[in-house]
Amino acid sequence: LNLLLCFALKEAGFDSHMVLVRTADKGPVVPNYPNLQQFDHQIVAIDMVEQFLLLDLINETDAFNLLPPHDLNQLGLKTDPENPMWVSLRFQNPDIRYTYSRFTLSDGGRLTGEISIVNQKHSARQARQRINKLEGDLEAYFRKYQLIGMGDARFLESEINNLDQPSEPLKAEASLTSKAFVEKAEDVIIIKPMMIKQLKENPFPIQDRSTPIDLLRPLRDSHLIGLRLPEGYTVAQLPQPIKVSLPNGAGTFIYNVMQNDNILHLSSSIFLNQTVFMPQEYGNLRKFFEYIVSKHDEDIVIVREEE
């Protein structure tokens, strides 16, 4: 079927090629010696000039722009007699999440506002599976997977877009009110700003590792937060901006804070381009996530202005 697809695309004028794949259950390919015996599957690549569109008719996904999990074995070999080359199989299946939060903080320490989460690529597929498993209960989805630690949240409204369109981004929105992540003591209010997407624990807790780590997919996870402070308060403590990068462009963490009158703007962005880390790279990866956990745990402190 994939071979027929490749020839049909060529007849239609597309620059298409077959790509030899070793399915993930067979272990990694050996790129230095591309022996044909190591491959057990083939997919189709359409050259889109800046990148390839990879297609597999023998798949387990209903989204044409995603490869099934058994194809995601790092590299495939494009069988072009004039220009054979290794093709990254994972770039097309990243986890992409953009979260936008806008909250107003009351003098009593209550947060009221809206959350908008846009899931793309594999992240959208995963979100759809979770929502369908919960029989479309959007509030239950928010509570179980997004509002961790905000158990007291009272929903005012919720909405979802593109649930039945698997090749499109999935957008989930909710308006709510909560007192979680806020502590008030007389004239002082302490806020944990990463209330929705806080990374509380390092996913790599052990000190050393002797085997590689395979993250399966690249990651793009960004959270933009707007926080309106109550009248009569001034900022006494803010997290400091930071940028941390892994060697060779493997990943970046950026945390920014800006203040505009009584509105605070915060952003946290985690980018992971590399998906396989060797044991000698483990220390850098572990330290990278330590920075994220530490920064996500920092507080905002505001105090009431003296009259």
How does pLDDT run along the chain (307 residues), one tens digit per residue? Answer: 999 999 999 999 999 999 999 998 888 888 887 788 999 999 999 998 878 999 998 876 667 778 888 898 889 999 988 888 999 898 888 999 999 999 999 999 999 999 999 999 999 989 999 999 999 899 999 988 888 778 788 999 999 999 999 889 999 999 999 998 999 998 999 999 988 778 889 999 999 999 999 888 899 999 999 999 999 999 999 999 999 999 999 999 999 999 999 999 999 999 999 998 999 999 999 999 999 999 999 999 999 987 6
Contacts of residue 2, defined as CB under 8 A and 6 or more positions apart, other chains included, come to 18, 42, 43, 44, 55, 56, 57, 58
CA gap 97, 118 in Å, rounded: 6
Q: Would you mind telling me the total number of residues written for the chain in this entry?
A: 307
Query: N- to C-terminal Cα distance for the chain?
Result: 76
Token pair belonging to 204: 């790599």
Token pair belonging to 111: 């947060």
3-state helix, strand, coil in the chain (%, to 5): 20, 40, 40
Written as one letter, the residue type at 129 is: Q
| Res 61: pLDDT | 65
| Res 60: pLDDT | 67
Pairing status of strand 219-228 against strand 95-105: parallel
| Res 211: pLDDT | 92
| Res 179: pLDDT | 92
| Residues forming a β-bridge with 102 | 114, 226
Question: Left, alpha or beta for 107 (phi > 0: left; psi -120 to 50: alpha)?
Answer: alpha
CA gap 166, 280 in Å, rounded: 38
Task: Tell me which residue has tokens 């915060």.
Answer: 266
pTM, 2 dp: 0.86
| Res 49: pLDDT | 80
Contact 124, 220 (CB under 8 A): no
Task: State the CB neighbour count (10 A cutoff) for residue 289.
Answer: 19
Pairing status of strand 95-105 against strand 213-214: unpaired
* Helix (H) or strand (E) run with residue 293 in it: helix 282-296
